[in-house]
Amino acid sequence: MYKNVIITGASQGIGKALAFEYADQISNLVLLSRNESAIESIADDITSLGGKAYFKKCDVSDIAQVIESVEYSKKVLGTIDLAILNAGTGNPEWMGQFKSDDLVKVFGTNVFGISHFLEFLIPIMKEQGHGTIAGVSSLADARGYGGSSSYCSSKAAASVLLESARVELKKYNIDVITIKPGFVRTAMTAKNEFHMPFLMDTGKAARIIRKGIEKKKSIIQFPFGTVMFSRIIKYLPNWIFDPAVRMSRKEPRK
Ligand SMILES: NC(=O)c1ccc[n+]([C@@H]2O[C@H](COP(=O)([O-])OP(=O)(O)OC[C@H]3O[C@@H](n4cnc5c(N)ncnc54)[C@H](OP(=O)(O)O)[C@@H]3O)[C@@H](O)[C@H]2O)c1
């Protein structure tokens, strides 16, 4: 059980569901996202349910806002026992119209939105003598799927970064958990035009994530069918992978 929890990207989707999952008497929450009115209203709802939630506007790609958010969290919570770094972005995009700046923006949230927090959370958790950092990556980290080059490469980078952190921070009693969901029904997946197997609701995803964090799993990946599918795909030779991806994820005609 965690007393003091911060969640990034808490305004909607998986982050919002996680906020309600932790909205019991035990956890004091700080909700972070760019949409201040959304997190304010979620914090109000949590308070009316008997929980305790603070909120602060934070663009995770902006290191100055991350510093302010970590300082604010430390001030109102006292300790930061669990940080769920969930904020993420991804849009369909095709290599025929590739813009490096789009990739920079996606990495700004999905990779640097984690690394900025690592820089300021690690000293706090070292001083506390404990802490858990749970970063949300994706099962899309396995390969370069069609129509999502920036997203897949950012999640691969996030997974490897979190793995290094997990290995090295254990000696400070800091647990690092990598969360790799399959398809979850949110605004992000609503943009997808391809079939999404084993699509699940945010509430179920949040329950799986909370249970996995409580068990201190090093990797929380779900659902089982997509995990198995991703494992097979990871080791497919290119002569099978490339045409299969071209067929299953076609660029829409303009
Ligand atoms: N849905 C899926 O199938 C799926 C699968 C695998 C992994 N994931 C990962 O799960 C996480 C949550 O995704 P979701 O599906 O819940 O998406 P979502 O509904 O689009 O929510 C994304 C959240 O991230 C926040 N966010 C985006 N950019 C941000 C930024 N620069 N600074 C701060 N917050 C930012 C958004 O809040 P504001 O707009 O208010 O800032 C929002 O709360 C992401 O990391 C995503 O990659 C999702």
Nearest Cα to 216, choosing from 118, 132, 129? Answer: 132
CB 117 within 8 A of CB 83: yes
- CB of 39 sitting under 6 A from ligand 1: no
**Amino acid at residue number 187:** A
Listed in sequence order, the residues at least 6 apart from 171 whose beta carbon sits closer than 8 Å to its beta carbon are none
CB 197 within 8 A of CB 183: yes
Phi, psi angles (nearest 5°) of residue 147: 75, 10
Nearest Cα to 6, choosing from 103, 73, 61? Answer: 73
CB 17 within 8 A of CB 9: no
Instruction: Report the pLDDT value the prediction gives residue 254, as an integer from 0 to 100.
Output: 66
233 Rama class: left (phi>0) / alpha (psi -120 to 50) / beta: alpha
State pLDDT tens for residues 86-116: 999 999 999 999 999 999 999 999 999 999 9
Q: Which atom of ligand 1 is nearest to the CA of 179?
A: 7
State pLDDT tens for residues 204-240: 999 999 999 999 999 999 999 999 999 999 999 999 9
C-alpha distance across the termini of the chain, in Å: 51
CA of 14 to the centre of ligand 1 (A): 7
Distance from C-alpha of 175 to C-alpha of 31, rounded to nearest angstrom: 21
Q: Which atom of ligand 1 is nearest to the CA of 181?
A: 6
Q: Which of 59, 62, 161, 188 to mutate to test the pocket of ligand 1 (most atoms within 8 A of CB)?
A: 188
Per-residue pLDDT at 10 exceeds 80: yes
State pLDDT tens for residues 157-212: 999 999 999 999 999 999 999 999 999 999 999 988 888 999 999 999 999 999 99
Taking residues 30-52, what's their average pLDDT? 96
State pLDDT tens for residues 135-154: 999 999 999 999 999 999 99
Taking residues 68-82, what's their average pLDDT? 98
Question: Whole-structure pTM over 0.95, yes or no?
Answer: yes
CB 131 within 8 A of CB 121: yes
The length of the chain in residues reads 254
